[in-house]
A and B are shown apart, each in its own frame.
Chain A
Amino acid sequence: MASKEEFRKYETGEPIVTVRNLSKSFGSLRVLKDLNCDIKAGETTVFLGPSGTGKSVFIKHIVGLLKPDEGELEVMGRNVPTLGERELYELRKHLGLAFQLGALFDSLNVYDNVSFPLSHHTRMRQKEIKSRVAEVLELVGLPGTENKLTTELSTGQQKRVGLARALALNPTIVLFDEPTTGLDPILCTTIDELILKLKTELGKTFIVISHDIEGTWNMADQVGVLYQGTLLRYGRNADVRRDDNIFLKQFFGRTEDGPMIGV
């Protein structure tokens, strides 16, 4: 059985997530339409698109929070929609998802939030957990905030604590839903640089959802353009960038006159 296999190490450039003909509807609303793509290990893949096009829905399929109506989805050799709870939980220990709005536990402080996956899934001692938490908080640029309540933090800080929590277990794949939306330009750059740094230093696979074009060109290896549930363009950063004009006109050039781009 595939699920009993150890999780193997993926070489850079090897497909680690494969998506085939993925479709999803909510009632009569077709959110994802026949998506196909390979996401490669050790790279940063950015999915770009205006809000409301199903980016978050797509990322929730990868971690198995939503089940597709049709199509296949393989993550680290596991066929995600068919996994039982136990196997899914095993897989998820290798995935770190930072939610769009942070999704931090309000009732807990920063330390308890970040240590949550550590205390549930490792046998680390208190001291080790403490130093790991300090380490990831340092990584996201929030050292020494352990005792703050999450409600005392700004949205940008909450997002970064969310990222720290996603990184805590040292996952193979880090998924990041709109890391820079709603942040000031300086913080945006900080987060983009952070992702670049983590990729080069730790060799992690990043799947990032964004509607920030500039940031995408800076950090992406691979770029996917999602629009109304279809993957319009999927290719290397430089190639997609060369098409810049075409899709910029199509999607992002209309910021002023169309309702296409929300938030």
Chain B
Amino acid sequence: MVLGMIDKYVVQPVYNFFDEVGRIVLFAMEAITLLFRPPLFWREILTESHHVATTCIIPVVCTVAPIGCILAIQALNILRPLGVEKLMSSMVVIIMVRELSPAMTSIMIAAQAGTSMAAELGTMRVKEEIEAQDVMAVNPIQYLVIPRFIALFIMCPILTVIAFFVGMAGSYVISVYVEGVNKGAFLTGLWTYLEMYDVGGAIFKSCVFGLVVAVISCYKGFYVTGGAAGVGRAANDAVVICITTFLILNYFLTSILWITM
């Protein structure tokens, strides 16, 4: 009885978890091996990249700009009474570059592009389109999955950079025009602590996050079972698993890249 419960609620889930992780890793490795084997479908890569960029840009801008605004307000709340208002932009820019632009961008990309990829591939699986491609001697991983991998790997850092500028613009507008911070102080403060290393680190992070979204969303969609309901589940799982995974991963990446000894 108790053993049965342990089996059902502990052993099985743990087993399933590692089973799934193993499959995802194998899937990623297969895709990466096929990446180096021709043909590479350039048109699909361009279409997918364009699709990711156009569908994600507005959600990214609309979430990062207000984040920039609130960061400015909260930073001023702490720094103004201490009389170090000029450090406000130094603090905001560090948080924005190192953490919030990669994370917020990836969250929106997972929500927008990741779910749409999972649903699209899932529908193709259910409708036997993926099998049809295979029968027509076109490898579906090369034709469908690799272009999506590349699109996310490229667009995630690009959107992250855009998000960074938008976020900083938000915080500039609030601090200069609403809170009355000195323009010059804000702009010079930006360079107090920021280094190229931070920008590189942020781009590295966003490449990793882009890959996480690509691998998990495509995996979930590509191996859908169970018809239309399965497609819905895949899209749902994809977004939750993606965001959880890369936010946890984010902690480790930040530790490696920026921990102060």
A residues in contact with B63, CB < 8 Å: none
A residues in contact with B120, CB < 8 Å: 107
Interface: A124 (CB within 8 A): no
Interface: A52 (CB within 8 A): no
What separation, in Å, do the CA atoms of A103 and B135 have in the docked complex? 11
Interface: A121 (CB within 8 A): yes
Q: How large is the interface on B (under 10, 10 to 19, 20 to 34, 35 or more residues)?
A: 10 to 19
B residues in contact with A101, CB < 8 Å: 127-128
19 interchain pairs, CB-CB under 8 A: A60-B131, A65-B131, A65-B134, A90-B137, A92-B137, A95-B135, A99-B131, A101-B128, A103-B129, A103-B132, A104-B132, A105-B129, A106-B124, A117-B136, A117-B137, A117-B138, A120-B136, A121-B136, A121-B137
Mark each residue of chain A from 51 to 70: 1 if its CB lies under 8 Å from any CB of chain B, else 0.
00000000010010100000
A residues in contact with B123, CB < 8 Å: 106
Q: State the A residues within 8 Å of B (CB).
A: 60, 63, 65, 85, 88-90, 92-93, 95, 97, 99, 101, 103-107, 116-117, 120-121, 165
Are B137 and A99 touching (Cβ within 8 A)?
A: no
Please classify the interface of chain B as helix (H, G, I), strand (E, B), loop, or mixed, using the class held by over half of its residues: helix
A residues in contact with B112, CB < 8 Å: none
Task: Write the nearest CB–CB distance from A91 to chain B, whole angstroms.
Answer: 8
Interface: B139 (CB within 8 A): yes
What separation, in Å, do the CA atoms of A121 and B127 have in the docked complex? 23
Task: Write the nearest CB–CB distance from A250 to chain B, whole angstroms.
Answer: 31
What separation, in Å, do the CA atoms of A113 and B132 have in the docked complex? 11
What separation, in Å, do the CA atoms of A105 and B139 have in the docked complex? 15
Contact for B137 among A89, A103, A107, CB less than 8 A: A89
Are A103 and B131 touching (Cβ within 8 A)?
A: yes
B residues in contact with A95, CB < 8 Å: 135
Are A97 and B135 touching (Cβ within 8 A)?
A: yes
Task: Write the nearest CB–CB distance from B113 to chain A, whole angstroms.
Answer: 15
What separation, in Å, do the CA atoms of A116 and B136 have in the docked complex? 8
Contact for B132 among A89, A90, A99, CB less than 8 A: A99
List 9 A-B pairs, minimum CB-CB distance, nearest first: A89-B137, A103-B132, A103-B128, A92-B137, A117-B136, A97-B135, A63-B135, A120-B138, A99-B128
Task: Write the nearest CB–CB distance from A206 to chain B, whole angstroms.
Answer: 16
Are A106 and B127 touching (Cβ within 8 A)?
A: yes
What separation, in Å, do the CA atoms of A65 and B127 have in the docked complex? 15
What separation, in Å, do the CA atoms of A197 and B129 have in the docked complex? 28
CB closest chain-B residue, reference A97: B135
What separation, in Å, do the CA atoms of A105 and B120 have in the docked complex? 11
B residues in contact with A97, CB < 8 Å: 132, 135
Are B129 and A106 touching (Cβ within 8 A)?
A: yes
B residues in contact with A120, CB < 8 Å: 136-138
Task: Write the nearest CB–CB distance from A95 to chain B, whole angstroms.
Answer: 7
A residues in contact with B129, CB < 8 Å: 103-106
B residues in contact with A104, CB < 8 Å: 129, 132
Q: Which residues of chain B in 113-144 are interfacial with respect to chain A, using CB atoms and an 8 Å cutoff?
A: 120, 123-124, 127-129, 131-132, 134-139
Task: Write the nearest CB–CB distance from B143 to chain A, whole angstroms.
Answer: 9
